[in-house]
Structure 1
Amino acid sequence: MRNTRIRVPETAAAGDIVEIRAMIMHPMDNGFTYTTQGTLIPVDIVTDFTCTYLDEEVVHVRLEPGISANPYFSFRLRALRTGKVEFAWVDQHGEKTVAEALLTVK
């Protein structure tokens, strides 16, 4: 399980557009880097990022080896009603990291 940082507003008015932010701490090695001893460091990347709100997918990103370490995403969604915003990252080994926050709509 990786360390994640997410930011979801605690409250919003119905119909508001809110900013969502998410980052996962991950080394993200592209497989083209060598150690100081000359050994190739194998590929180690997050391959997919998904965000769901009210059990509907609002963002899905497929990541490739060119992405930087600690991938950061910022996007907006419309606050419809109170519900869970869930974030999921999957790495190339199939390890899934999940984080969630509650968005309260008034």
Structure 2
Amino acid sequence: ASAMYCQRMQVYEGSLYLTDYAAIFFDRHYAPARIMPILETLRRHPKLPNLDIVVAGNDEPRVPAIPGDRQSWSRTCSRWPGGGGALPPAVFAPTVNRGVMDLPWVDFAWCFPMASHS
């Protein structure tokens, strides 16, 4: 099995918490591109509710799907070890297509925010 290089980001009472630095080990210069979208969102919406998200740590989508196959999601959930009826967390990724179930995530390696962050 291959590693699933993802980073967990949590916003709690307006502050950003990163819980997995190992996920971005492959390129420390590219890592800010994964964090900037949530920082930009916090800058624009300081009263953002608490949230817990998972973002792919590289450009390859993480959650495969078969286009047109209505059972893809059920099979994905059956492989999730969470148990107790818990669903796997949604995974955001900068690269998505019809063959994956990842959610789109802005890639700030190409599109930088207009205002500076404090």
Q: Which has the higher contact order (CA 8 A, sep 6+)?
A: 1
Higher Cα Rg: structure 1 or 2? 1
TM over 0.5: no
Q: TM-score, normalised by structure 2?
A: 0.24
- More helix as a share of residues: 2
Q: TM-score, normalised by structure 1?
A: 0.26
